[in-house]
Chains A and B, each alone.
Chain A
């Protein structure tokens, strides 16, 4: 379906309220991005979200938007506590899929002759691939602690440092998590997987700070040009998928019970104050904590591998930040001139709180919250900082990545006959994966150029560029 898109400002387009929409749509995109947006169902999904009860402000889409299921990927929506709803489809299957960045004091020249070996060291250290499993066998009791305490459990179990916790969204532990709301089946599916990447677009990437755009913020984030970084992208593995699947069924029933019209069943939802929403908050919180602990364990594995490889512990591999991509939570935002508590759904979007915000770690209050935007494995990633403008326009949110452009099948067909591993190695990027299929599906051409996405974000003012990272070695699932 085609929609009227009114240009509102720099890289902003509004879909005016029409039909069942309760609020307008707000799309962040460049003119060049519009044709591809209009060629699939992404905009239908923005409009569908705009029809959900109690939505406030706009149904928002980031420039990395692509066609998801229910909510678009790259979607942000906030709901009023009295009239609004909670939707598991607005969070997605991989609950708290997210990304974290470690900085280091290792100069590029110290590693540049040994990247092949270093990439193998990371590949051996971080469990990756379809059905990848953890080296740690959890008891039922331990798993319940993971679900309750998240990254704190991991740090207290020897995976990382106390200082890591303050560099994680929600300090790595979601309040209100209820392990009792997670089914035995979800626990069975997730238990062997804690501390593993999984597959698809998940990765552990060794990179180098290749350009600094904002010296002051880069210094606050501990980023120096030509030093190495490690980025880890993963989520709640099978536990999160199962929680989402089971919650959807409960929410489909709830939608009928509460008379919520659904333009797409995947948008099923329940009033925020209902028992169904409370149950989902508890289960989602537990899955969020599983994902925080998961990334924390892999951080430890990567640090160990790097320390062993370089033969010393003083590498300065400190956590810059850890952000969630798929989440719903209570936050305070100004809506129609009034500070209100709203439930913000981010599906394939990143929190991007401004300088001075009390939820931003103290050491980043001058610069704003670090926003980590991975690109594809062959080009670059960005570190941004949250802005006041994001607080005003997007409930303190920004983009989460490059956004897929080709389907997985199209990507495989594009990669056919090429050696992706060799091509990338020729450009100094060492890719390690058990699966040629996954690597073919993740070729650069499968994604938008993340630089274009980030330029839209930066120009629209909903985050600002701090640094660019270039990949050196990528462990893919």
Chain B
């Protein structure tokens, strides 16, 4: 599920009704950043990372109370979708801290946002799903994940 390389990455995978993304990154926060890049790319048909470092949409703070590592990925992707469809803002970058002590865990993130392009969104994503969901940390310390998104 994704070749480790020197940097995080992702690829979209065909799924009959929906779309799946596979992600890999050296840390869990980096994995979530990559998930945001992948989600924005799916919604905007932009090249992945096209909005990185873009600004103009301000900043926002996000706190997610999560059940576990897999739920963190689903909730995070859904936060990125919600900001785009309801607030008209794309996540262009994030500083993420994960506190996974105790039950579940808390994601706190400082988001850098950019406004939607004038043409709007190209694809409407409904939600990340828990189906066939995987987040694993390999022996090499890298995180690899797969999430199916309902389109």
The complex places the Cα of A252 from the Cα of B103 at a distance, in Å, of: 14
Q: Which residues of B contact A41 (CB under 8 A)?
A: 132
Measured CA separation A437–B18 after assembly (Å):
15
Partner of A407, one of B15, B78, B86: B15
Could you tell me how many residues of chain A have their Cβ less than 8 Å away from some Cβ of chain B?
43
Of the candidates B127, B132, B133, the one whose C-beta lies within 8 Å of that of A241 is B127
Tell me the smallest distance from the CB of A38 to a CB of chain B, in Å.
13
- Pick from A68, A93, A404, A437: contact of B122, CB under 8 Å: A437
Nearest CB of A to B38, in Å: 14
Tell me if B121 counts as interface (CB < 8 A to partner A): yes
- Cβ contact within 8 Å between B151 and A40: no
Inter-chain contacts of A130 with B (CB < 8 A): 120-124
Least CB distance from A66 to B in Å reads 5
Q: List residues of chain B with CB within 8 A of the CB of A238.
A: 85-86
Per the bound structure, the CA–CA distance linking A408 and B18 in Å amounts to: 7
Query: At the interface with chain B, which of A242-250, A368-376, A463-471?
Result: A242-250
Q: How far is the CB of B14 from chain A (nearest CB, A)?
A: 4
Given contacts A69-B18, A249-B67, A435-B122, contact A408 B151 (CB under 8 A): yes
- Interface bracket on B: 20 to 34
Pick from B16, B18, B130: contact of A268, CB under 8 Å: B130
A327 to chain B, nearest CB (A): 17
Known A131-B85, A189-B85, A248-B130: A67·B67 in contact at CB below 8 Å: no
Using A248-B130, A264-B131 as known contacts, say yes or no to A188 and B19 having CB atoms under 8 A apart.
no
Asked if B95 is at the interface of the complex by the 8 Å CB criterion, the answer is no
| Distance (whole angstroms) from the CB of B121 to the closest CB of chain A | 5
A185 to B122, CA, bound (A): 22
Contact yes or no, A252 B71, CB < 8 A: yes
Flag if B16 contacts A69 (CB, 8 Å). Answer: no
User: Any chain A CB within 8 A of the CB of B129?
Assistant: yes
* Given A69-B132, A69-B148, A94 and B16 contact (CB-CB distance below 8 Å): no
Give the contacting residue for B14; candidates A89, A405, A410, A437; CB below 8 A.
A410
Q: Of all chain B residues, which has the CB nearest A245?
A: B127
A329 an interface residue at 8 Å Cβ cutoff?
no
Within 8 A of A (CB), among B98-143: 120-124, 126-127, 129-133
19 A–B pairs (Cβ distance < 8 Å), ordered by A: A40-B16, A41-B132, A67-B17, A68-B17, A69-B18, A94-B126, A130-B124, A185-B86, A241-B127, A244-B127, A249-B71, A252-B130, A264-B130, A264-B131, A407-B14, A409-B12, A409-B14, A409-B19, A477-B124
11 A-B pairs besides A249-B71, A249-B75, A252-B71 with CB distance below 8 A are A68-B17, A68-B131, A131-B121, A238-B85, A241-B127, A264-B130, A404-B16, A407-B17, A408-B14, A409-B14, A410-B14
Binding site for A on B (CB under 8 A): 12, 14-19, 45, 67, 70-71, 75, 78, 82, 85-86, 120-124, 126-127, 129-133, 148, 150-151
A-B CB proximity, top 4 nearest: A69-B131, A407-B14, A265-B130, A266-B131
